[in-house]
Amino acid sequence: MVVLGFDPGLATLGYGVVEKIGSSVKLLEYGAVTTPPTMRFADRLLSIHAQSQELIRRVKPDAIALEELFFNTNITTGIAVAQARGALLVAIGEYTDQIYEFTPLQIKQTLTGYGRADKQQMQRMVKTILAMDKIPRPDDAADGLAVAICLANTSRASVEQFRI
């Protein structure tokens, strides 16, 4: 099963692609969809949609997962990221209905066994699980891989509760 994971963002939308084979997870690719801040906002959303759509069509995932948005203190940034996530969801929805969403706590719990793991712990676990030589960069790509690993390692019996 090929799984594509996304860490939504406006400037940098991280992604990771893994393949679940038996009980192991194999790295296929990772990277980021980017939009420059000098671009008009509407054009940034169009670019996110187009780049995501191209990625999805190229890797042909069996399922796609996203990290649920977490609003901390800056609501303005949160709204922009939510709009970018909407553009991403349209691209995903045009391809499949196998769409899943996990909270940051659920992703951390799945990868490290501890829901309050810090960013460095998460990055080291992604590196270890995927037998990588170094921690993937940018950070957003490591987060996208973590989302993909989370879905790949979620049991078939419980995965439907995360479907959106």
Catalytic residue among 118, 140, 143, 160: 140
Residues pairing with 65 in the sheet = 5, 100
Catalytic residue among 7, 62, 97, 160: 7
Q: Is 143 among the residues known to form the active site?
A: no
State whether residue 45 is helix, strand or coil. helix
Q: Is 140 among the residues known to form the active site?
A: yes
Q: Is 133 among the residues known to form the active site?
A: no
Catalytic residue among 67, 94, 97, 133: 67
User: Helix %, strand %, coil % for the chain, to 5?
Assistant: 50, 25, 30
**Alpha helices by DSSP H, 60-138:** 75-95, 104-112, 119-129
Element (H, E) at 150: helix 139-152
Catalytic residue numbers, as ranges? 7, 67, 140
